[in-house]
Homo-oligomer: A and B are copies of this chain.
Amino acid sequence: MRALQARGETERSHINSRELGEASGVADAQVRKDLASIGATGQPGVGYAIPELMEDLRASMGLHRTWKAVLVGAGNIGRALLAYPRFAEEGFDLVAVLDRAPSVVGRKLAGHTVQPMSAVADVIRRTGAELGIVAVPPSEAQIVAEMLVHAGVRGVLNFAPRPLRLSGSVAVVAVDFTETLERLAFETTMKRSLGSRSRDT
């Protein structure tokens, strides 16, 4: 997708399966087969029209539509998400914000009046939200996630550094800042050892 976006920003209108294969490390024939399975067809000798291909890919990934999400937790992470500039244009609609702290409930944040946790089932039914964002302290993450799922949420984004145990039919994506820093430490270590190796030779 990123390779495509980069191509789309240049002046080219088409991309062929060989180029896609090189960018993704997959054989041409497999690229054509995979793309055919999501309904994308290229023209022989010309390739795939980039705008149509991106639309087909987005549709296959569930990104051709708007997803409604409720946010639980109006702390620092929650506020950062509410201030995030690109959600709406990428098809994510934060339809409600909930928090359990009486000092926060009723306050207005980025256009949303913070709702109490007791309203969770009602809010999810009324808005039809399918995604839930858990931005609460670790000790509350599991119970909050269960409340969201019980109320009808099908996917949970978990910012608490604690694994959630939920039904296998619920999608869970975790953002763990420690893991992110570990990845950075690893990549920094790799860059250094590559750098010192190239200086040696």
Minimum distance in angstroms from A145 CB to a CB of chain B? 13
CB proximity to B under 8 Å, residues A165-201: 169-173, 175, 177-178, 180-192, 195
Interface size class of A (residues with CB under 8 A): 35 or more
How often does this chain occur in the complex, in copies?
Answer: 2
Q: Is the pair A161, B85 in contact by a Cβ cutoff of 8 Å?
A: yes
Of B79, B80, B92, the residue contacting A181 (CB under 8 A) is B92
- Of B76, B84, B155, B189, the contact of A185 (CB 8 Å cutoff): B155
Q: Does B131 lie within 8 Å of A186, measured CB to CB? A: no
A: which residues have CB within 8 A of B? 61-63, 67, 69, 75-77, 79-81, 83-87, 90-92, 130-131, 138, 154-157, 161, 169-173, 175, 177-178, 180-192, 195
